Amino acid sequence: MKIFRYVRVSLESIRAHKLRAALTMLGIIIGVAAVLTTVGMGSGAAASITERIESSGTNLLTISASGSSTLTMQDAATLADPAVIPEINALAAQYSSNASVTRGDTEESYQVTGATANYLGISNGAMAAGAYLTEEQEEKNESVAVLGWTVADDLFSGLDPVGETIRIENNLFTVIGVLEEVGSGFSSDETVYVPLGTAQTRLFNASHYRGSYNLSSIIVQVVSGDELDTAEGEIERVLRLRHGLAAEDGNDFRIMNQADMLEMASDISGTLSALLGSIGAVSLVVGGIGIMNIMLVSVTERTREIGLRKAVGAHNNDILLQFLIEALVLCALGGLIGVGISYGAAYFLGNVGFMPFQIIIQPWAVGLALVVSTGSGFIFGLYPALRATRLDPIDALRYE
């Protein structure tokens, strides 16, 4: 068949001009590899975040202040009363702010979170070394700290930090534990935890609202996942009542359940994938333009060949098909090489330690990338092929 013959001719032409073919395919290769890798990063991040959120429990609600800090210790105390909302099993209060953390000559900025002693259990966290905050340390506002995994690695470079001293905003703290690594970019890895009262009174001088110290958030553990909607509705009712909000007023707080967090994580990863993928798509367009340029050069170089073929009876469709297939073959090969590179990049970045999660190359993305790259061969190869068909055989035979 003609098509297979033209494919063979195209491959022979590529072999005869290896460097030119490689440079021509480079844009397609980079574009396909970039699109697949970035989309894979988004898929991997979403999967990792989903796994982490689901592992923390499906019966958690997070209440956070909207705008100015309107959540207070008294809000937390009211919600913790079983007589107020029976569906709540337990809750943990937090107050967070960024702060300078120093050990020796190393100084970094991290989120420092004042937390109640029950936060670790409610959030299903685990210790890698040492111990977590105790109720006694919380009551006495002691200067003790639990480090997230990344913080410990940054400040102590693999050494055991338990028992060592660090400075938080020029206040000395004793490290009593290190949390297990969460990964996937979760902020707890880059957080320093101290007793709630210590953060409010000694580190950040938290302001008062309605006569009670402010809170950044309240983590609520509901009795069961089935009671989640009921508990959320009751929390909203109680807080609106406590904050004196009128019926027409919006909430001055936000309640998020695990489904909300999963949706937010999916939206963020989808947006990032689309943004980064569009950058790779630009490379595909540039690669397609490169294909068109090199095919125009090829038409010029083979003008006499085209004239000779027409002189011996070749039809315009034969000439069109020959050059179009050559462009398609170049783009298809570039796409396949790009797919191979994306799998290699995914393995390397995910296993050598550059990424906190595995990059997942989606089969649908591979198929779409190959279709788009091959399609770009048709789009950008059509004009040079048409130009070849319009050559006059007599003029072409005179061409030197």
pLDDT-derived band at 183, boundaries 50, 70, 90: low
Beta strand 144-147 with 171-179: parallel, antiparallel or unpaired?
A: parallel
Q: Is the dihedral of CA 382, 383, 386, 388 positive or negative?
A: negative
> Mapped to the 3 state alphabet, what secondary structure does 197-259 carry?
HHHHHHHCCCCEECCEEEECEEEEEECCHHHHHHHHHHHHHHHHHHCCCCCCCCCCEEEEEHH
CA distance 83 to 244: 21
pLDDT-derived band at 398, boundaries 50, 70, 90: low
pLDDT-derived band at 2, boundaries 50, 70, 90: low
More confident site: 143 or 347: 143
Mean pLDDT value across residues 59-86: 86
User: Concatenated DSSP letters for 289-335?
Assistant: HHHHHHHHHHHHHTHHHHHHHHHTT--HHHHHHHHHHHHHHHHHHHH
CA distance 153 to 213: 33
Mean pLDDT value across residues 142-166: 92
Residue 211: its pLDDT value, please? 59
pLDDT-derived band at 341, boundaries 50, 70, 90: very high
pLDDT-derived band at 124, boundaries 50, 70, 90: confident
Residue 145 predicted with pLDDT over 90: yes
Q: Are 189 and 109 in contact (CB under 8 A)?
A: no
* Span 221-254, pLDDT tens digits: 888 877 888 888 999 999 999 888 888 888 888 8
SS3 372: helix
Across 45-54, 107-116, 183-192, 353-362, which has the greatest mean pLDDT? Answer: 107-116
Q: What is the mean pLDDT of the chain?
A: 82
Residue 56: its pLDDT value, please? 61
CA distance 47 to 335: 26
CA distance 133 to 88: 22
Return the C-alpha torsion angle 22, 381, 39, 350, nearest 10.
Answer: -10
Backbone angles phi, psi at 104, to 5 degrees: 65, -125
Residue 57 predicted with pLDDT over 80: no
Residue 185 predicted with pLDDT over 60: no
- The residue among 223, 252, 249 whose CA lies nearest residue 239 is 252
Residue 1 predicted with pLDDT over 60: no
Exposed / middle / buried, residue 35 (Cβ in 10 Å: 0-12, 13-18, 19+): buried
More confident site: 330 or 179: 179
SS3 179: strand
pLDDT-derived band at 353, boundaries 50, 70, 90: low
* Span 76-87, pLDDT tens digits: 999 999 899 999
* Span 274-317, pLDDT tens digits: 776 677 677 778 778 878 887 777 777 766 776 777 677 667 77
CA distance 146 to 395: 83
Exposed / middle / buried, residue 127 (Cβ in 10 Å: 0-12, 13-18, 19+): middle
Residue 134 predicted with pLDDT over 90: yes
The percentage of residues in the chain with a pLDDT greater than 90, rounded to a whole number, is 25
Residue 187 DSSP class: G
Residue 247: its pLDDT value, please? 85
Where are the alpha helices (H) located in the chain, listed in sequence order? 2-16, 18-55, 73-80, 119-122, 135-139, 149-156, 196-198, 228-242, 258-301, 303-311, 316-351, 363-389, 393-398
Backbone angles phi, psi at 121, to 5 degrees: -65, -40
Residue 322: its pLDDT value, please? 77
Residue 266 predicted with pLDDT over 60: yes
Residue 192 predicted with pLDDT over 90: yes
CA distance 342 to 363: 12
CA distance 20 to 26: 10
Structural tokens at position 258: 């695990």
- The residue among 380, 372, 296 whose CA lies nearest residue 338 is 372
